[in-house]
A and B are shown apart, each in its own frame.
Chain A
Amino acid sequence: MAEPTPVQIFHTEEKRMQYRSGSFFLRVGLLVLFLVVPFLFPSFKTVDLAMQIIMFATLVASFDILLGYTGILSFGHGMFFGIGAYCVAFLIGKYGMPSYFNLALGFITAAVVAYALALLISFLSLRVKAIFFAMITLAIAELAIVLATKLSGFSGGEDGISIFMPGIFAVSFTLGDLMGLEITGRVVTYYFILLFCLGLFLAMLRFTHSPLGRVLQAIRDNTQRAEALGYKTFLFQAISITFGCVVASIVGGLYAMWVAYVNPESCLGVLTIMLDVLLMVIIGGMGTLYGGIVGAAFLKISQTFLPDLQNLAKGLLPHAEFLHNILERWLLLFGILFILVVVFFPKGVIGSVRDYMAGRNRVRG
């Protein structure tokens, strides 16, 4: 047998360490934590928070495939999320009965619509410049909001659509007690979405660690060189964009299942969903996938506890009007944080930690 190449040595080393490293235990620990949340903290607020973190972590990871792995910024990711949510809502709410078949059909429709639209946008914009993608997706995302609001006969308008879940996902469904927890439809939905998101996350990990993912990183780092090596950059970019967008639409469908309600602002909004996703991916770290979990956890937890913080500030310092104003405008703080992270920690939390660990290992020898 021939001498192993450096890349092969690297891979065998990586495989050997796969199940022993600290980060592996961290990941498993995190998964176990999410699995036991409904048992440990059965209150609605905590379960909802955990669910939001899981869904947004997956959404942010799919956005990261575009931003961190392909180097393309899309402002339409929230729109794809919304398309998924609306497709599911249409099929089990407005235009169909709540049944398992319609639910599955909703997800399939969401994926197909997202696939077609993402392909169309990539063909339009990548032909010219990658930055056109940001402008065009912003324009189309705004159009989607306007259409969803104006065509109220078709989409339910600003009132949105309320949906009821079929069978075991329904709120009224119950399976009896298990270790002190009543297994309701909500709990079943929680675990269903958790597993679904886990599957999506693993699929994305597989995608980015495949040879295709490596080519994408090469294109991101040096487009001309990748082209010179004979890769059709356009094709690879289009594949990655459509993949990320389809995942986003499926997460959108899951979101609709969980909140059982869709409206233009909460599902399609550039300044709601898209802003959160951008903040999360920047804080967590671009090009890491796991960054999404950190970013989503940070943002969702701070958003949940901000009202408490405001009340606390009002209680402790009742006369500091300025402080109240600033806390009232928490988005300002997030905006400043966003700029600071982009300038000083462009790799985000995960990337910076990884750099730090790598540096420490090198010092140790």
Chain B
Amino acid sequence: MAEAMFRRWGRELTIAGAIVLFLLPLIGIPGKTYLTLTIAGLAMGMLVFLVASGVSIIFGLMDVLNFAHGALFAWGAYVGFTVFKHLMKWVEADSVLQNLAVFFLAIVAAMVVVALLGIVLERVIVRRVYGSHLFQILITFGATIVLVELIRVFWGPNDEVMTVPLTFYGNWDIFDIIVDRYRVICIVIGLIVYGVIQLILKKTKLGMIVRAGVEDREMVQAMGHNIFLLFTGVFAVGAGLAALGGLAMSIFSLQVYPDMGGTYLLFAFIVVIIGGLGSVTGSLVGALIVGLAYNYVAYLVPWAAAGVNIMIMIIILLIRPTGLFPAGK
């Protein structure tokens, strides 16, 4: 009886449980701090979503688990870092317009460079190991080593301080609630990306082919679509999203370092396990859960922050092994 109910309403029950869990910290945290933490958590969740969505789509469509996604994330941050460094005048200018211009320039540069890198990666390396999960993980792990070491060769092995456009500094004070400006920007970026992905997936022919590919790859091929071209394209988009995430994250934490991808790749894995591999909506929900939980727990019990997401992952695995929004196969 209980089991049947669980199977039927599992997703709704989990979400309801999650909402209750996220209101629970209100007991221990004063209201205003709670709101600040919530915004921080949402911003972090959106950044993680940018990485996780790439991992998730690539897995859903291509059946490839890309361990090199963290390295692409770091590459995005470093390309943005270079753009900021070369246009230091615009970065330090006291003009919103110039600040925004350099920000968008950095985003475009990071996404294009890393998408190209992704295309090379897919064509040269990943293509050789389609169909074998084991070799995919091994080979993308090898690619991670190479990409991270290349960062060390090109940019040096040390941490670098990221100089950030002035516009992104500072807080807004709304009714005594301190709101970090950049966090709001992150949330907006995340929502825009989610909207665009959903729009493409749901409303365009390309999106329809991708969705069909997630469901049944052979059939799409039989209908005469070049699925390998699609694979390359999706890999490039995933890489571009990772680059965007990396850049946004490095502005957030004001630094870049070669190993920065590792932690976020881990977050992305936890998110796709929670949300369900292959689902974009699942990635968003999972990322928000992870971001919020991390921030609440880091405030309440600092030492447990690292473990809380793994605990959530384990609980989800126990009650819904395929994640909240299982997609396709």
B230 within 8 A of A: no
What are the interface flags for B241-271 relative to A under an 8 Å C-beta threshold, 1 for contact and 0 otherwise? 0000000000000000001001100100110
| B317 adjacent to A127 (CB under 8 Å) | yes
Q: How far is the CA of A13 from the CA of B322 in the complex (A)?
A: 48
Among the listed stretches B93-101, B205-213, B307-315, which one makes contact with chain A, having 4 or more residues with CB under 8 Å of it?
B307-315
User: B313 contacts which of A139, A332, A339 (Cβ < 8 Å)?
Assistant: A139
Question: Given A73-B138, A151-B303, are A125 and B317 neighbors across the interface (CB < 8 Å)?
Answer: yes
Interface presence of B114 (CB below 8 A):
no
Minimum CB–CB distance from B34 to chain A (whole Å) comes to 25
Distance to closest chain A CB from B14 (angstroms): 16
- 0/1 interface trace, chain A 214-229, chain B, CB 8 Å (1 if under): 0000000000000000
Instruction: Using known A-B contacts A73-B137, A134-B137, determine if residue A335 contacts B65 with beta carbons closer than 8 Å.
Output: no
A332-B150, A335-B149, A336-B146 known; A282 vs B134 contact (CB < 8 Å): no
Contact A331 B145 (CB under 8 A): yes
Residues of B within 8 A of A282 (CB): 138
Closest to A67 in B: B134
Q: Please encode chain B, from 140 to 176, with 1 for each CB lying within 8 Å of some chain A CB and 0 for all others.
A: 0111011001101100000000000000000000000
Identify whether the interface residues of A are mostly helix, strand, loop, or mixed.
Answer: helix
Count residues on chain B whose CB falls below 8 Å from chain A CBs. Answer: 37
Q: Closest residue of chain A to B65, judged by CB?
A: A131
A residues apposed to B, CB below 8 Å: 67, 71, 73, 124-125, 127-128, 130-132, 134-136, 138-140, 142-143, 146-147, 150-151, 270-271, 275, 278, 282, 325-326, 329, 331-332, 334-336, 338-339, 342-343, 346
**A339–B139 CB distance below 8 A:** yes
B318 CB contacts on chain A under 8 angstroms: 124
- Summarize B's interface: helix, strand, loop or mixed: helix
User: When A124-B314, A128-B317, A128-B322 are in contact, do A150 and B138 touch as well, CB less than 8 Å?
Assistant: no
Q: Is the CB of A71 within 8 A of B138?
A: no
Please, which residues of chain A bring their CB within 8 A of the CB of B270? 139
Residue pairs across A and B with Cβ atoms less than 8 A apart, 8 shown, are A124-B314, A125-B317, A150-B306, A278-B138, A342-B135, A342-B142, A343-B139, A346-B135
Contact among B65, B135, B146 with A134 in the assembled complex (CB-CB below 8 Å):
B65
Complex contact A339–B142 (CB within 8 A):
yes
Q: Are A335 and B269 in contact (CB under 8 A)?
A: no
Indicate if the CB atoms of A332 and B146 lie closer than 8 Å.
Answer: yes
Residue B17 at the A interface, CB < 8 A?
no
* CA of A271 to CA of B141, assembled, Å: 11
Would you call A331 and B149 a contact (CB within 8 A)?
yes
Most buried by B among A73, A130, A270, A331: A73
Which are the 9 A-B pairs with shortest beta-carbon distances?
A335-B145, A332-B149, A335-B146, A338-B142, A146-B306, A339-B142, A135-B269, A128-B321, A131-B133
